[in-house]
Amino acid sequence: MNEIIPIPFPGMCGNCYLLKNGDNYVLVDTALRTKRNMLEEKLDELGCTPEKLKLIVLTHGDFDHSGNALYLGKKYDSPVAMHREDAPITENGRMFINKKKKRTLIDWLSRKFLQIDTFTPDIYMEDGMDLNNYGVKAKILHLPGHSAGSIGVLTAENDLLCGDLLENRKRPRLYYVDDAGAVQKSIEKLKQYEIRVVYPGHGSAFRFTDFSG
Ligand SMILES: [Zn+2]
């Protein structure tokens, strides 16, 4: 039985989640570099030790989700996993390198102020990949649209960690769309599953049925 423990961050920073099954933990997303101390304290509080943390999954490459992946991967001796299509973001420290819409001001600001670590992920995640080997009952869904390499984590209980496909700061809705066609396909794909609760990258959890598209 999985438990999903939100580690929320307000504002522009992405939420993190600990997916827990008994003594096995998988960390989903790692927040901004500037939130490092806060995140480390929270992980300590939650009893997340190097022995228990089996994997770090990034829902996509953006820096508000990948900012502490390299650091935490080393600290906890845990592999960092993401989709191959977003690897150019973390390898080059360029958030818009693989996006259709190039937001040059945000690109420039992020590189100037965010102290970005560049890294290559240890593992590439693909659609349908099972996380059982890492001690949790869940699988990966490729959900492109916010970025080409965006993924979600669907638990055996049909709860979804959706990254930045959907958000719920004021109400459940699409987050920033880079590729509208891909987003629509990703939403259609989700409708094939009887998803219960969605845990978004920004905002609080909501029932999937409360998302009206
Ligand atoms: Zn985000």
Q: Domain coordinates of the chain in residue numbers?
A: 3-210
- pLDDT for the residue 83: 98
Assess whether pLDDT exceeds 90 at residue 213: no
Ligand 1: distance of its center to the CA of 91 in Å?
18
The alpha carbon of 202 and the centre of ligand 1 are apart by a number of angstroms equal to 6
> Mean pLDDT throughout 82-108?
89
| Least reliable range by pLDDT among 92-101, 104-113, 199-208 | 104-113
Kindly state the average pLDDT of the residues 123-134: 97
Distance 185 CA to ligand 1 centre (A): 20
Cα(111) to ligand 1 centroid in Å equals 16
pLDDT at residue 112, rounded to an integer? 80
Measure the CA–CA gap between 201 and 204, rounded to whole angstroms: 9
Q: Which two structure tokens, joined as six digits, stand for 192?
A: 């094939």
Does residue 6 carry a pLDDT above 90?
A: yes
pLDDT of residue 42: 98
Q: Rounded distance, CA 209 to CA 192, Å?
A: 13
Distance CA 55, CA 81 (A): 7
**Per-residue pLDDT at 43 exceeds 90:** yes
Local confidence band at 121 (pLDDT 50, 70, 90 cut-offs): very high
Residue 104 has pLDDT above 90, yes or no: no
What separation in Å is there between the alpha carbon of 168 and the centre of ligand 1?
12
Question: 164 CA to middle of ligand 1, Å?
Answer: 6
64 CA distance to ligand 1 middle (Å): 5
- 3-210: CATH, from 1.10.3210.10, 3.20.20.70, 3.60.15.10, 3.40.47.10: 3.60.15.10
Give exposure, 149-175, as e/b (b: 16+ Cβ within 10 Å).
bbbbbbbeeebbbbbbbbbbeeebebb
CA of 85 to the centre of ligand 1 (A): 17
Beta bridge partners of 82: 124
pLDDT tens readout for residues 51-69: 999 999 999 999 999 999 9
118 C-alpha to ligand 1 centroid (Å): 17
Query: How far apart are the CA of 38 and the centre of ligand 1, in A?
Result: 17
Residue 207: Cβ within 10 Å count? 11
Q: How far is CA 177 from CA 40, 64, 98, 143, in A?
A: 30, 16, 13, 12
Does residue 106 have a pLDDT over 90?
A: no
Q: Compute, in angstroms, the gap from residue 59 CA to the centroid of ligand 1.
A: 9
pLDDT at 129 over 90: yes
Q: For residue 201, how far is its CA from the centre of ligand 1 (angstroms)?
A: 6
| Percent of the chain whose predicted confidence (pLDDT) is above 70 | 100
